[in-house]
Every structure is written in structure tokens, then in C-alpha cells.
Amino acid sequence: MIPDSKIDEIRERIDLVALMGRHGVELKKSGRSFKGCCPFHQEKTPSFHVWPEERRFKCFGCQAGGDAFSFLQRLFGKSFLDTVRDLAKDAGVDLDEAIDPGLKEKAQIKDATDVAAEHFKSRLWDAVVGKRAREYLLSRGVTEDVARAFGLGWAPLAWTELADKLRERGLIAAAEKAGLVSPRKTGDGHYDMFRGRLIIPIRSPEGRTIAFGGRLLEGDDGPKYLNSRESKLYNKSETLYGLDQARDEVRKKKSVVLCEGYFDCIGLHQAGVKNAVALCSTALTPGHMTVLARAEGKELVLLLDGDDAGRKAVERLAAPILAAGGKARVAALPDGEDPDTWARKVGPEAVHKLIETAPTLTQWLFATVLPQGPTSSFEAKMDALERIRPIAAGLPVGLMRSAFFGALSGLMGLPAAELESTLKGKPGATVKAVPKPAPGLEEKPPEQWEALFAAGVLRDVRLLGKDQWRAADELKHTGLRNLIAALATGHSREDALYEASEAVKRTLEEQALQKSLPEDDQALEQWFLVVCRRLKLRGLEEQLTRIARELAQSGGSGSDLTDEAREMLSQQAQLLALKRQIQAQKP
């Protein structure tokens, strides 16, 4: 996709008046705007206005309007993206250079990943081929609904099933980069990396598949779990498994349940813990913390295996969480239990109760490293300090650090200052307490009605055909137009959102906005027409404001009206009539 910033740059660089002149629209200067006869409808008195500084045009006669892109789209019936490409040449903006060479590779990896995801799914749900894998899911208590929601699949014990499909589509090189196939050691060709494995697609928060995990079920080829390698699409230190499924619940509860395995996460969802996610690796990184902050997961609940490995994992995860200033609690499972089997055994209520009563991370840490508290032996205290050291070392200087050492002092029965100098290491002054917003977060969010328009199209792209006022032409937010263009050219909802700017994602995923969309198809269409009408009215308001401003500047009042002012007044009257007409019209 073409970056939003490049589209803005093209719009800025194009001389709108010259462009229209080249397409046969004769314009004359009139105050701060230009005026001419409209190319979109028959007329003798000019009512086609262009405001070069604002990069916009408007016809008061037929209501065509928008920017340079809208103008050419309307004139030639071209798509938004084709128009952007044409105008890039005129504006001397090099799009090839703008589109980083990695983007083509990324697009191919996306295609290869999509082919693989479909392939694995079709194998799982094939009556014969997927039988063994479906039985396994059943034995783990995973229902068909949950399996489908998580997009699970099956890679049969075959050598080139997927490789053949990928080669046919010219995607074999990209598939190799994504770790889906591997070149044969002898001779030509490639073989499938995932064989005899239950496939767990790893998705972006928007729901786009970006990688795969595979659990060995048949044969004895390789490790129990195999992950596809990191690629232009997949960065495991920024990816949390299951977040696409957990997002709504995370936003609602402002809390995330973090577990370690894919099946723990799936099992927790199956048991009704719908804000559960899992790590795709063993480390929790600042990247993960940023992703969680963006998902509005203000609190983390660690739900890990009830054994030594699980307890060690909590200690390991504690450092990055506290270093990032994160809030966390630890839901400790009974000894020897893992989240998946335990949740199935005890049921959702017991799981929720465990989560609700979970101690804070520091409470848990202190109780675990020194259960006897201040009365512990000297040796026990020294051991405890060693375990606390890596966590204490990363704490950023500030209130949290002092509070932590204050509490530790109470636990040990030793002065806080002594403890701090003993555990000195280097205080994590360089670690930012608040995760840095991803670039683009500062981008201006779209206006509400524009966002609603895009949300409607995102729900059902066919709504674009119902846009009787051509409100789409008048959208001002480049990111939204880019998104709508992607949807209109057949990109999937997940893919279009995945590529969208942060501001667009955030706006469109807001609960309030999502809730305002009717579920029912017919109601959705009616709702969409209301949105189009509002956008239309917004445009009219802007025109009326402009006219009022220009009238004021030309001092046009009283009997000595200039022709100019007389015409503006007549346009004003027309617009007001149109406004009333639209307001009265029940969609």
C-alpha cells in the first residue's frame, strides 16, 4: 500500500488550478478562489469553485467536490489508488522509492501465508484427512467453534502438499523466507516444514495471519512445537498469541491474562477467560508491553503452570513488567497444574475467582522468595536477595523504585537504603516507565462521521455502492481513504486494517464506535445512509461558512451589491434550500 504521508505529499504538490486547466476546466480568479463551469454537469453560469490553498474544489450546482484525487476519480471513473499513482508522476513524487523494497517481499510473504492458512484449514476440516487432528482437539476439549475462531489447521504427514501449491502460485521463494518450506538438501525443489502437525496460526491484533505454530501429532519429526521463523510479517517480540480473539474483552476489562502456551490460551478461551493471550517465545519484551498498552490492557494477570518452571517464569517476567511500570498480579495454579487442563477441570467460575483474588506481582514475589518474612534465617534472606537482584536492577528511578525497596525492607527487616546499595547494579534509569507510543500515534485521528463511514465500509464493502452523495470523495482523512481504497480493491478486512495507520486502527477499533453499528444488514444500510447524509451536511456547512466569510470580506450588504456578492447570495440560498431538503429527507 502507498503510505498515507506520500498521498498527502502528492496532494500538497499538485497545483489544482493547473490540473483542472489541463482537463478542460477554464477557471477565473474570484477573490481567494477560482471559478469556472463545472465539468460534471451542464451549466452556463459558473458554479464550480476551486480553493487552491485548501486543495479542494466544490460545485454548488451538482455538489461534486473533494480534492485532486476525487476530481480525477470522478472525471475518469478511476480508482483512488490509480489516481494517486497517476498524480504522483505529475507531482514528481517517486512512489517506487517511497515503497520500500522490503514491501514487495512483505506482500509476497503475506500471500504465501494466506495460501498456507487456507491450506491447513482445509486439511483439518476435510472429513478423511483431518480426522486424527480433530480427534486430538476433541481430546483436549477444544470445540469446533473455538477451533474455527482460532483458525486451527492440520498439516498432514506429506512432503510437498503445500510446497506444490505455493510453487504453482510463484510464491515458493517467499514461503521459504517465511519458514513454510525448505529447499531439498539433494536435488531441486522444496519440501513442507510442517508435517504431521496441528497448526496454530499466529495472528496480528487485527486478525491477519502472520506466522504458524505447529504441534507434532504424527511421526517423530523434530520438536514437539515448531514455529515458523520471524519474517517481514512476524516479529515474535511484538506478538502476543490470541490477542486478535482477546481484544474486545481486554478493552472491556482493561486486563490481560498472560499464559505461556498456545493451548493454554485456547483452553482458557474455551473456559470463558476471553482476555487470555500467550507469549510466542519465553521472553516478555518492551515491545509486548507497548502492544498491551495499545490494546488498553492496563493490568496483566500472569497465569502460569503450577510448578517450578511456572514460578521461575513469573520471576523472569517480573523484571520487564516492573521496568515498564506495568501493573501485574499472579494467579498461582495448584502444584502440577497447567492452565489448560486446570481450567477445563474446575470450570470458568473457579478460574475467574482465582484471577480476582490473585495477589499483586510484588506481593507474590516477596511471599515466594522469602515465605517466612523478617524471621527468616540470614542465609534465606541472602538467597532471596539474589533472586530479587535482576528484578530490582531494572526498576526505573522514581516512586515505584522507592516503594519497592520500602516493601522489601519490611519483608527482610533490613533498612531500605542498605538493600538498595546491595542490589545496586544499575538502576534502570534508561528504561522508559511508560511505553513509547508507536510512531504514527501522534497522527491526527479521523473526524467522527468520517470514521463511522469507514467503519460501515469495513463491516460490509458493498455499502460503498449505496453512497448516493459520493461522501467517499469528500473524506479528508488520508488514512481512511487509503483503507477504503484497499477494501474496494478486494483486500480482506483484516489485511486492510493491518496495513492501516495507528490512528485509523485506534479509531475504528473503539468500542463505542463499534457498538454504534447495527448488526442487522438492513439496519446497517439505513444507518450508513444517515452517515452519508451527515457527511454531506458537513460539506454544506463548510460551503455556507465560506460564503458567509467571503460575503463579509467583500462588504456585500445594502443596495450596492457587486455581481460577485449577488451571486454568492444566490448560492447561499440554494445551499440552504439543499440543506433543508437533505435534513427533511428520511433515509
Residue ranges that bind Zn ion, judged by CB under 5 A:
38, 40-41, 59, 61-62
Q: Do the Cβ atoms of 477 and 450 come closer than 8 Å?
A: yes
Cβ nearer to Zn ion, comparing 48 with 234: 48
Taking the complex as a whole, the smallest distance from the CB of residue 49 to Zn ion amounts, in Å, to: 10
Cβ nearer to Zn ion, comparing 38 with 243: 38
Taking the complex as a whole, the smallest distance from the CB of residue 76 to Zn ion amounts, in Å, to: 16
- Which segments of 130-261 does DSSP mark as H helices, in order? 131-139, 144-149, 161-168, 172-177, 243-253
Cβ nearer to Zn ion, comparing 75 with 433: 75
Beta bridge partners of 154: 198
Cβ nearer to Zn ion, comparing 38 with 246: 38
Rounded to an integer, what distance in angstroms lies between the CA atom of residue 482 and that of residue 505? 12
Cβ nearer to Zn ion, comparing 41 with 169: 41
Rounded to an integer, what distance in angstroms lies between the CA atom of residue 126 and that of residue 130? 5
Rounded to an integer, what distance in angstroms lies between the CA atom of residue 393 and that of residue 424? 7
Taking the complex as a whole, the smallest distance from the CB of residue 441 to Zn ion amounts, in Å, to: 39
Beta bridge partners of 327: 299
> Using N-to-C axis directions, what is the helix angle for 308-323 and 361-369, rounded to 10°?
130
Rounded to an integer, what distance in angstroms lies between the CA atom of residue 134 and that of residue 198? 9
Cβ nearer to Zn ion, comparing 43 with 238: 43
Taking the complex as a whole, the smallest distance from the CB of residue 536 to Zn ion amounts, in Å, to: 15
Contacts of 523 (CB under 8 A, 6+ apart): none
Rounded to an integer, what distance in angstroms lies between the CA atom of residue 177 and that of residue 109? 7
Taking the complex as a whole, the smallest distance from the CB of residue 84 to Zn ion amounts, in Å, to: 23
Q: Do the Cβ atoms of 217 and 123 come closer than 8 Å?
A: no
Burial 114-127 (b: 16+ CB within 10 A, else e): bbbbebbbebbbee
Cβ nearer to Zn ion, comparing 61 with 446: 61
Taking the complex as a whole, the smallest distance from the CB of residue 47 to Zn ion amounts, in Å, to: 6
List phi, psi (to 5°) of 583: -65, -35
Q: Do the Cβ atoms of 180 and 228 come closer than 8 Å?
A: yes
Rounded to an integer, what distance in angstroms lies between the CA atom of residue 585 and that of residue 587? 6
Q: Do the Cβ atoms of 158 and 195 come closer than 8 Å?
A: yes
Cβ nearer to Zn ion, comparing 41 with 462: 41
Q: Do the Cβ atoms of 2 and 82 come closer than 8 Å?
A: no
Beta bridge partners of 203: 209
SS3 content of the chain, % helix, strand, coil (to 5): 55, 10, 35
- How far is it between the farthest Cα atoms of the chain? 100
Beta bridge partners of 303: 331
Taking the complex as a whole, the smallest distance from the CB of residue 142 to Zn ion amounts, in Å, to: 59
Cβ nearer to Zn ion, comparing 38 with 412: 38
Q: What is the residue type of 190? A: H
Cβ nearer to Zn ion, comparing 26 with 248: 26
Taking the complex as a whole, the smallest distance from the CB of residue 35 to Zn ion amounts, in Å, to: 12
Taking the complex as a whole, the smallest distance from the CB of residue 585 to Zn ion amounts, in Å, to: 20
Taking the complex as a whole, the smallest distance from the CB of residue 79 to Zn ion amounts, in Å, to: 22
Taking the complex as a whole, the smallest distance from the CB of residue 26 to Zn ion amounts, in Å, to: 14
Shortest CA distance to 355 belongs to which of 237, 272, 445, 232?
272
Cβ nearer to Zn ion, comparing 77 with 558: 77
